[in-house]
Structure 1
Amino acid sequence: MAQQLRGNDLRQLGFPEGRAIGLALAQLQRKHLKKLSHTEQLGLLQTLLNNPNEYLTDLDWSHTAAALLPPPSRHIALAERKSYAVFGPEYIEQGAIHQMETAMKLPVTVAGALMPDAHHGYGLPIGGVLATDNAVIPYAVGVDIGCRMALSVYALPPKHLEQRLQEMRKILLDNTKFGNRDVFRYGQKLDHAVLERDEFLSIPFLRNKQETAAAQIGTSGGGNHFVEFGVVDITDPQNELGVPVGQYLGLLSHSGSRGLGASVANHYTKLAKDVCQLPAEAQHLAWLSLDTEAGQEYWAAMNLAGDYASACHHQIHQRIAKALGERPLAKVENHHNFAWKERLADGRNVVVHRKGATPAGAGVLGIIPGSMTAPGFIVRGRGEAASLASASHGAGRAMSRTRAKQELGEAEVRQYLTDAGVSLIGGGVDEAPQAYKDIFAVMRSQQQLVDVLGTFTPRIVRMEGAST
């Protein structure tokens, strides 16, 4: 084991007084770095000191490198607020409006829009859409990167759910896993090509994330994530699904990129805050330029997390299709909590962040869920320029989780579900239907954004929590 370096050793190398010395000494206490010899440690620190920019995305040294860079002469000033469209303003809380107003003052902001399901979040409000100039904002993408909806439509009648209720509940129990404590009954772990992606090796931060990603593949997170059986009602005879008008058995899932996406979001947000120092009210909107190595790394990691989230859904639907002994007639999948490179109607190339907002480009299909007792909607985007070709990603919360727990009782929620004919496995009062906005009002607020092809009404819902 190397002789422990001290602050004076780093000062002799040329380290400036301040945070960098403490951060560097703390890093050297990590197990794999303590194995280096005294000379090797000094050599590593000298290289870091000489070229801090090259270490800004290094797993071990990113924060030390940021501390070595010259501090900005002042905070990046906010600009005059740009105008933006708001859909369903009467349903949006003031906190979300305030967050959107701040986002529209960023110097990199080009355009924005707020969806009718919007509510307060970190950085950009949930339901916020923000277009920027060659910059990506990790917290405007969100923590659960690539969170998505996936729907399978089966050639089985809705009465299948009533006639085989216990069998269908067991299929959900046996073939889904939520959170970190739930376990599969029969160890149904599947492999997937996404786990072999080069990004796990080429991006330093991701090198120790592959094992966790492999352990969580094909599972769902907690909170508002679910897998549910329900009734699909196709109402548009011109639908692109190729499914005739009528009612069918459907499977709908909602989940994201699990621990992989959360770790990517948090790591690159901290890095963005180090290099992009904004006023306090805007600090969660720190960005990374796509001209930088850090920006390119985040972009690659974000896309990997999005593909991983999609793989999780595909495995869930694959297992359940096998258990049903059926192949789906059609599938629809869309995601939010992501950033896309797009071109605005005026020809400008931008990065569009959709945090809790559904892509709704012309002809793009998606699902906008309601609640456990309210239908979701299968939609076709209309490509509305004012909304940056976006729509809501659900009904949106009317109550915070804390307020729902304070105001709603378990017996009350169970009776509400029983009256609606919904069978719930797991879940909690914080996800009660009463905690959500009226999905019909939300849909009325965005008639110019999407066309409705049909609905999905939940009947058996599986969420994180107890098995009964």
Structure 2
Amino acid sequence: MPTPTYELLEVPGGKPIKLWTHGVPVEPEARAQLIATAKMPFIFKHLAVMPDVHLGKGSTIGSVVPTVGAIIPAAVGVDIGCGMIAACTSLTAADLPDNLGRLRSAIEKAVPHGRSFGRNKRDTGAWDNVPGSAEHAWRALAGRFKAITDKYPRLEKTNNRQHLGTLGTGNHFIEVCLDEANRVWFMLHSGSRGVGNAIGCLFIELAQADMRQHIANLPHRDLAYLEEGSRHFADYVEAVGWAQDFARQNRALMMHAVIGAARQVIAKPFDAELEAVNCHHNYVQKEWHFGREVLVTRKGAVSAQKGELGIIPGSMGAKSFIVRGLGNEESFCSCSHGAGRVMSRTQAKKLFTVADQIRATVHVECRKDADVIDEIPMAYKDIDRVMEAQRELVEVVHTLRQVVCVKG
């Protein structure tokens, strides 16, 4: 028998934890959080931990949580359906304009991004006038959303329709990349935006309220769960499924806008979907594993069924990868969703300067200011080590390097 590539952590009173983390750091706080989750009574078989693992709110980012008969809403999180989309084009590096700033500017104008506050000021991260493409996509989602809001009216007054086709903030991004053959790819990262956040927050609150008598016995209040058969369980499954569909459509709309923006700047006609991938990495769904149907929550993890394509982005200024799943059942057919942070955003802003950011992203057309220092590459794990640690989970199909990056 070959030596497994994972570390096995036995948990007294809980299920084992299998960590694909050889050669990458795992903070003690993340281990403690994983152990707490492994002690929940409905965990199926074991937790699977990806090499980008780090401490998260509610549940550990970079973990795969299989359950039977219950879901932990905080494990799914509030960025429901967050994920990646990538499209390979017929363009090559030589077809890009000499001034990549023009391309970045065109993308920034085409896709609302970031967030702005102020009395009587429009939020720059939302649509002021929703375009026809987003209206059309919203009509396909609106009926199911009404069924949800009829039961939970507070979700109606959220950023929903006006966020469809918008990027968001934080680590959400749009990139223009080159692969090993110098072909141009467009790639972006986003999720279900304001409405998904509201759905996540609501059901985390409901789970905690339903468990009010028992919450003191939980390892952490964010491990409050919804039991299968209960009203809130069924309603959560309905709402989270809708939010995941919203997220997938959100990414598709933005990709269409990015391609349109590029066509305004690049004179040469091009095909834009020679290869295309659209995958979640914060979600829950029913799957078949080890002979039975289970609920699989991937909190910062990507499905890697045998032959399935996925996306593992590096940090701002590092490499990214298009991968093919190897169908490793021990990981519940999963892989990492990125490089994974090695420090908090606050720590990064204290430790690094704008000059550091400029040096780290010298080869990328992107923002280089104080507001993006928390996304500096050094705040993340080494993506090469992350990929090495999961060599039995995925194989690399394409290696991408960024040349343009738009941050929210």
Given the alignment of the two structures, is residue 222 of structure 1 paired with residue 222 of structure 2, yes or no? no
1:249: which partner in 2?
Answer: 184
Counterparts in 2 of 1:283 and 1:208: CA distance versus 1, 3 Å? closer
Residue 386 of structure 1: CA displacement? 1.2
Residue 322 of structure 1: CA displacement? 2.1
2:38: which partner in 1?
Answer: 104
- Comparing 86-95 with 431-440, greater Cα deviation is found at 86-95
Given the alignment of the two structures, is residue 404 of structure 1 paired with residue 348 of structure 2, yes or no? yes
The residue type paired with residue 152 of structure 2 is: F
How many angstroms apart in 2 are the aligned matches of 1:224 and 1:211?
22
The residue type paired with residue 60 of structure 2 is: P
Residue 327 of structure 1: CA displacement? 3.4
Residue 282 of structure 1: CA displacement? 2.5
Report the secondary structure of 1:223's partner residue: coil
- TM-score scaled to structure 2, two decimals? 0.86
2:25: which partner in 1?
Answer: 91
How many angstroms apart in 1 are the aligned matches of 2:172 and 2:105?
19
1:322: which partner in 2?
Answer: 260
Which ranges of structure 1 fall in alignment gaps of 5 or more residues?
1-77, 234-245
1:156: which partner in 2?
Answer: 91
The residue type paired with residue 336 of structure 1 is: H
How many angstroms apart in 1 are the aligned matches of 2:127 and 2:204?
37
Instruction: State which of 301, 310, 323 in structure 1 corresponds to 2:239.
Output: 301
Residue 185 of structure 1: CA displacement? 10
Given the alignment of the two structures, is residue 337 of structure 1 paired with residue 282 of structure 2, yes or no? yes
Q: How does 1:31-70 map to 2 (within 5 A)?
A: none
How many angstroms apart in 1 are the aligned matches of 2:104 and 2:128?
16
1:310: which partner in 2?
Answer: 248
How many angstroms apart in 2 are the aligned matches of 1:82 and 1:185?
46
Residue 180 of structure 1: CA displacement? 3.0
How many angstroms apart in 1 are the aligned matches of 2:210 and 2:176?
46
Higher relative contact order (CA 8 A, sep 6+): 2
1:169: which partner in 2?
Answer: 104
> Based on CA coordinates, which of the two structures has the bigger radius of gyration?
1
Report the secondary structure of 2:58's partner residue: coil
How many angstroms apart in 2 are the aligned matches of 1:439 and 1:268?
34
The residue type paired with residue 201 of structure 1 is: K
Superposed CA deviations along residues 351-379 of structure 1, whole A, max 9, x for unmatched, are 11100011111111100001122111100
Superposed CA deviations along residues 365-407 of structure 1, whole A, max 9, x for unmatched, are 1000011221111001111111111110000001111110110
Counterparts in 2 of 1:207 and 1:407: CA distance versus 1, 3 Å? closer
1:379: which partner in 2?
Answer: 323
Superposed CA deviations along residues 139-193 of structure 1, whole A, max 9, x for unmatched, are 1111100001000111011133352413312221211211332268996733233
Counterparts in 2 of 1:202 and 1:113: CA distance versus 1, 3 Å? same
Which ranges of structure 2 fall in alignment gaps of 5 or more residues?
1-10, 117-123, 264-269
* Aligned structure 1 segments of 4 or more residues deviating by more than 6 angstroms: none
- CA RMSD of superposed structures (Å): 2.1
Report the secondary structure of 1:383's partner residue: coil
Contact map agreement 2:158 2:198 (CA 8 A) in 1 = no
2:160: which partner in 1?
Answer: 213
Identity of aligned residues (%): 34
Residue 106 of structure 1: CA displacement? 0.4
Instruction: State which of 179, 190, 195 in structure 2 corresponds to 1:232.
Output: 179
Contact map agreement 1:424 1:461 (CA 8 A) in 2 = yes
Instruction: State which of 199, 208, 225 in structure 2 corresponds to 1:264.
Output: 199
Counterparts in 2 of 1:259 and 1:87: CA distance versus 1, 3 Å? same
How many angstroms apart in 1 are the aligned matches of 2:32 and 2:127?
46
- Comparing 202-211 with 363-372, greater Cα deviation is found at 202-211
Residue 88 of structure 1: CA displacement? 0.9
Given the alignment of the two structures, is residue 283 of structure 1 paired with residue 221 of structure 2, yes or no? yes
Report the secondary structure of 2:330's partner residue: helix
- TM-score scaled to structure 1, two decimals? 0.76
2:365: which partner in 1?
Answer: 423
Report the secondary structure of 1:423's partner residue: coil
Contact map agreement 1:199 1:206 (CA 8 A) in 2 = no
How many angstroms apart in 1 are the aligned matches of 2:221 and 2:251?
33
How many angstroms apart in 1 are the aligned matches of 2:152 and 2:397?
42
